[in-house]
Amino acid sequence: MQVAAFGVQDTLEVMALKCRRRIEDDGFSMASEAATMYNLAVGTMERTEAMSEQQDPLKVENGMDFLILLLYAPGTDGQPGAPIEGITRFQKLMFLLQQDVGPSQLVKEAASYDYEPYKMGPYSAGVRDDLEELVSAGVVTTERLHYWLADDSDDPGNTDPDVDAPSKKRKAVESSRYLLSSDIGMRAGADLWRGLRSREQEELTEFKSFFNSLSLRQLLIFTYDRFPAFTQESTIKEHLGLA
């Protein structure tokens, strides 16, 4: 609806401009006819603007919408658009939402992805593919991310393996930080956010603030402990102190 409205808007602006010039060029002989056309164009343009402002917010209808919504949800600072550090964290947040660890009203959309046991626990190829599509479309942007999966916390600043040689419980991780683009991504997120009930907004904010603030190791241990059936193929149990 928004794209169509903008197209009509542009057409009406051109029509109004042409009619105004016709009034100026032709003088009073054609003024009445041109003025009528001009008023019609301006009136329609104003109604189009009002329709655009009053249109219903978008509804979350599929998993890709939910990825945008999760990225838009505020973090611990209360500001919308808190980034998600790494594909593994993103995968686990979506998995936990699917397992009803969070707003129960949004489980249906999160459940559109299939998960299977993989190297770092529950993994969905659908989440990966949809994120890649959103990045290609310019809705989501990424930044390179390097850190250690450490004994007790993440260490994003340590990128040199010679500085602190990893023990059996330390693993070098290379991934991406995901965030919505400042233009189309944030606009789409805001529109989807407005479509949620106040309670859903509050619960999703609480969910993201808590789990996004955990170290990756803490998040993985929580997930592994709650859902052991998805850890059968894991190659990092030793790094988590679970082997």
| Distance, C-alpha 53 to centroid of its chain | 22
pLDDT for the residue 39: 56
Q: What is the mean pLDDT of residues 134-157?
A: 73
Domain boundary assignment for the chain? 2-54, 63-230
Q: What is the mean pLDDT of residues 198-220?
A: 94
Task: Please report, for the chain, how many H helices and E strands are present, in that order.
Answer: 9, 5
List pLDDT tens digits, range 153-186.
444 444 443 334 445 556 666 778 999 999 999 9
pLDDT for the residue 7: 40
Could you give the residue ranges of the DSSP H alpha helices within 55-177? 63-72, 87-98, 107-110, 125-136
pTM of the predicted protein model: 0.69
Q: Which of 32-41, 62-71, 175-184 has the lowest mean pLDDT?
A: 32-41
